[in-house]
Amino acid sequence: MKVSVSVTTKLLTVVSAMMLTATIAIAAMLIAQSQISIEQQHKDFQSKNQRQLALMEELLTVRLLVWVETFSRWGKTETLSEDELAMALQESKDALSVSLQISDMWLFGPDGELLMGETGSMPSFVPNMESLTRDTMRPQDNLRCSGSCYRYLSAPIMIDGQRVAVLVLSSNFAELLAALSQFSSAYKIAVVESVENDNGIAFNIVSRLSETNANLLNSLLAKIPGYTTTRDMVESGALLRQDKRDLMISLLPMSTTGSTNYAILFVRDISERIASVEEYQNMVIGTAVSIFLLFTIILLILIQQYRRKLIQLSEQLPLLAEHRYHEFSLINGRHRLWKDKTFPDELDLLEETARNVAKRLEEQDSKLAASNAQLENMSMFDGLTGLPNRTMMTFQIEKQIAVATKNSGLAAVLFLDLDDFKKVNDSHGHDVGDQLLSAAAERIVRAVGDKHVVARFGGDEFVVLLDDAKDKSQVESVAQSLIDVFNRPIQIASMPFYISTSVGVAMTNQPDIKAVELLRHADIAMYEAKAQKGAAFRLYDASMNVKVMRKVELEREARVALRENQFSLALQPQIDIQTNKVEGFEALIRWRHPVKGVIAPGEFIPLLESTPFMMELDYWVMTRSLRILNELSTNGYPNVKMAINVSAAQFSDPTLPHFLSQQLSLYELAPEKVELELTETALVSDINSAIDVCKALQDMGCLVAIDDFGTGYSSLSYLKSLPVDYIKIDQSFICGMLDNADDKNIVQSTISLVRSLGRTVIAEGVETPEQLAQLGAFHCHQAQGYLISAPIPEVDLWKRLEEHVVNGCWQMSDTVKSSLTQHQFEF
């Protein structure tokens, strides 16, 4: 593959771009800083001139006022008349003109008449100043420019008779402007008037200037952009180029009392400053460019070395992929080792690593050839037992099917599964379990002989392939020998383990059948054997496959039924035999299929109980039962209980107590109104765990019952140890107790035993008055069955309760009552 842009070029480009960006940023910052220095110098200039102008104006005003005050006191003006005051001021006029640069003087009498001064030289605004001074008794000042600029000051003077005269003085502003020009070192200075028009703001020169200066300033003012405002001229000024000079034009506003806006126009020559800034900026740019070029050249020289090494290495590495290790070593041998170099870098280390990798790869290649055969062998055999594995067995079955069908024989497969092997792992650990599997594999091999193929299919499953099966009896004989070989216990670490095996057998003489299909048939038959409680074998037939398909179809339909509310509950009453009081109901599930009609529980529950869906259905029954119990409790039946059947899987579910607690809280039910019924098989399969779960449920306040008592592993020891509240005698004993003495004795002894343990006895399946009378004679506590009532659909529950329950007691029919009376059992 050809490299279009090398990594070193990319690195050089990226680093150069970063350096260029940093250089430009720093240069721009320094240039901006130099530009800011010009603006800062302008601000300092404006601030200094503002303070100086204010100081000069204040000094002039104070001097005039001090003179007026001094004249009033020394001249004792409060004793003078108007004429005497005018005469005194006339005598002082020449002195004022010399010392304070007074241009004109006007004196107004107490009545506002002009006592001194010429009317023709008096501006029109002076009478207004006089009137305002007289009204406020405070000095007033003003600035007016017309050809020349004059500052006007008015002050009140007290004369005889406590009357007030007003003196107005005018002073030429030219001397103050000259002083300010000298102080600021301005190139040119003038007073301007800002006038707003349609084109923006215009500046008119109102102070007296020479023709040359006036022409210069007017030309500068004409160059100021039209969008420039007075504020811009004050804060930033305007930089103009005139006669090869860099001139800064700025305004300094003056305080006036009229509507006219006056400002002092400063023209400063900052050519040297601008030249200095430009020189500094050029130096910054030149330095930045020099640094960037120097850095790029140095970086290019360094990176070029890396580029050369990378290209060499890229040309050498493909030799390793082609297993040309000797050629690779020859080329690399021409370069010095990285440890021998003065300043080794990462690429030197990479070259050394490549040499080491080449050496290791060469060694590995030599070992790989020897290992391939071993790996192929391991991929076909089980690592624990040494037997062929699933892959090897599938291959052997395909071969055997072809050979057997060609020779008109049978291809027979036996699928073995060790019964309850999981308990060994759970109780003794996987190490012991592995030893047990190895020992079991040896027994299977000995049982079938070396002629046949034995494989471990996974976990505790084994498969036997018969080599020369002739007929069905031969296959059955081998299957039975496999079962018999486990009659003796297996000793593991001096501990005996009694295990059995379930065997499924599948045979074929069809050449088109696949190994996978034959194995599936044997697997199905093995599960049929397990259904016989293990230690058995079954031969596969087509009905087994139909059963499996039926199970899959039924589970799918059941899931749809749960979503579409096809399931419902039927409730069978449980009554007190002595008082006929309704003690509670047992919740029984019903399924009404929209096409198949009613599907009996005995048809779908056995098929679903080994599927994951059964747990979901169990919790649905529990939730639905508790909702109905809530309706009963809030509608006149607060003391009845609800009996709910719990499957073995649900009973062993660790979330059961938490779920039950949530539902009790949701429906606001007392725990003692809930009775959980478990079969003997579910309880004794793991007695210690069963005791713990029963205690947990009782600690919550719930009741626990043993259902179908007598049909499983009935024993006094577990009945005594299990923390249960109710014992339900199976209906098979109730049905036969009137005709069979053994059943009668079992029922009577069971009732007596349970009563002695302080538990409550419930008889199931009571169908005749004679049975109920006999149970009453045996002092059985409660009963349920078709004699009392068939299971009531939940939609008909309230109707049946209204018909049969009076004051909380179940009402028997007259026929039943008559029959019970004949048997001396009153209700």
- Identify which of 492, 457, 482 has the alpha carbon closest to the alpha carbon of residue 382: 457
* Chain centre to alpha carbon of residue 467: 60
Would you state the structure tokens that stand for residue 784, as one six-digit string? Answer: 């349920």
User: How many whole angstroms separate alpha carbon 569 and alpha carbon 573?
Assistant: 13
Residue 713's pLDDT is what?
Answer: 56
As to burial, measured by CB atoms within 10 angstroms (0-12 exposed, 13-18 middle, 19+ buried), residue 522 is: buried
Paired residues of 202 in beta bridges: 195
**Count of other CB atoms within 10 angstroms of residue 141:** 20
Would you state the structure tokens that stand for residue 149, as one six-digit string? Answer: 């600029």
Rg of the chain on CA atoms, in Å = 59
- Identify which of 681, 663, 585 has the alpha carbon closest to the alpha carbon of residue 623: 663
Q: What is the dihedral of CA 434, 439, 442, 444, to 10 degrees?
A: -90
Would you state the structure tokens that stand for residue 243, as one six-digit string? Answer: 């006669």
> Could you give the 3-state DSSP secondary structure of residue 177?
helix
Residue 827's pLDDT is what?
Answer: 41
Would you state the structure tokens that stand for residue 20, as one six-digit string? Answer: 């260029």
Furthest C-alpha separation in the chain: 165
Paired residues of 100 in beta bridges: none
> What interhelical angle do 601-608 and 542-563 show, nearest 10?
100
What is the pTM assigned to this prediction?
0.50
Q: What is the dihedral of CA 512, 516, 522, 523, to 10 degrees?
A: -150
SS3 string, 788-808, reads CCCCEEHHHHHHHHHHHEECC
Would you state the structure tokens that stand for residue 229, as one six-digit string? Answer: 């405002």
pLDDT tens sequence across 19-44: 778 888 887 887 777 777 777 777 77
Beta strands 140-146 and 148-159, pairing class: antiparallel
User: DSSP string of 296-323?
Assistant: HHHHHHHHHHHHHHHHHHHHHHHHHHTT
Given a contact cutoff of 8 angstroms between Cβ atoms, the answer to whether 324 and 41 are in contact is no
Q: How far is CA 51 from CA 55, 58, 188, in A?
A: 6, 10, 19
Would you state the structure tokens that stand for residue 734, as one six-digit string? Answer: 């109730």
In 650-779, at which residue ranges do the beta strands (DSSP E only) sit?
674-679, 703-709, 726-729, 760-763
**Count of other CB atoms within 10 angstroms of residue 676:** 26
DSSP 146: E
DSSP 649: H
Given a contact cutoff of 8 angstroms between Cβ atoms, the answer to whether 680 and 713 are in contact is yes
Task: Point out the residues of the chain with pLDDT beneath 50.
Answer: 337-338, 826-827
pLDDT tens sequence across 723-756: 899 999 989 899 989 989 888 998 999 999 899 9
Residue 644's pLDDT is what?
Answer: 95
Q: What is the dihedral of CA 566, 572, 573, 578, to 10 degrees?
A: -170
- Identify which of 367, 152, 148, 143 has the alpha carbon closest to the alpha carbon of residue 262: 143
> Could you give the 3-state DSSP secondary structure of residue 235?
helix
